[in-house]
Amino acid sequence: RKLTKPELGHLEKAGAVPMRHLQEFRLEKVEGFEPGQRLVLEEVFKEGDLVDVSGNSIGKGFQGGIKRHNFRRGPMTHGSKSHRALGSIGAGTTPGHVYKGKKMPGRMGGTKTKIRKLKIVKIDNELRVVLIKGAVPGKPGNLLRITPAKIVGKNIPKN
């Protein structure tokens, strides 16, 4: 009921049931695939394969410079009043403004993150579970997109 009319029309044309999440994955070959076909995990991935896992990282809200960018704190004694404050953010009259991209306090986390080259330990089709060795982004129950690992420089010929 929360899908838009264009999304419903797109799924209806493909002969697929309305679903909450729709994602396009690029393939090297499309032979053997049909619209609306259910994928079996063991056909796509094997145990021991390297995969990239992407998802939303855990949101931490508004954070200061120390937590967000690993800045050091100021002196705690001798009359200092800037313990966790940011400090100087730029020069004075020249240039007369703060440079773009300056690391400052702000919203932290809750962004799309990709963890690369994780190994598949086990695939269980009965429970519909994929066991992956390593940390994946987000909280338990988070939607993850698992794709074959993109190995950089894989097709470069060796001289």
Would you list the domain boundaries of the chain?
39-70+105-152
The gap between the terminal CA atoms of the chain, to the nearest Å, is: 57
Quote the strand ranges of 37-103, DSSP E: 50-56, 61-63
Question: Alpha helix (H) ranges present in the chain?
Answer: 5-14, 41-44, 65-69
26 near 93, Cβ under 8 Å?
Answer: no
Banded model confidence at residue 155, pLDDT cuts 50, 70, 90: low
- Average pLDDT score over the chain: 90
pLDDT for 154 equals 67
Tokens of 73: 């704190």
What is the fold, at CATH topology level, of the domain defined by 39-70+105-152? Elongation Factor Tu (Ef-tu); domain 3 (2.40.30)
Q: Assign 79 a pLDDT band (cuts: 50, 70, 90).
A: very high
Strand 112-124 relative to strand 106-108: parallel, antiparallel, unpaired? unpaired
pLDDT above 70 (res 157): no
The pTM (predicted TM-score) of the whole model is 0.75
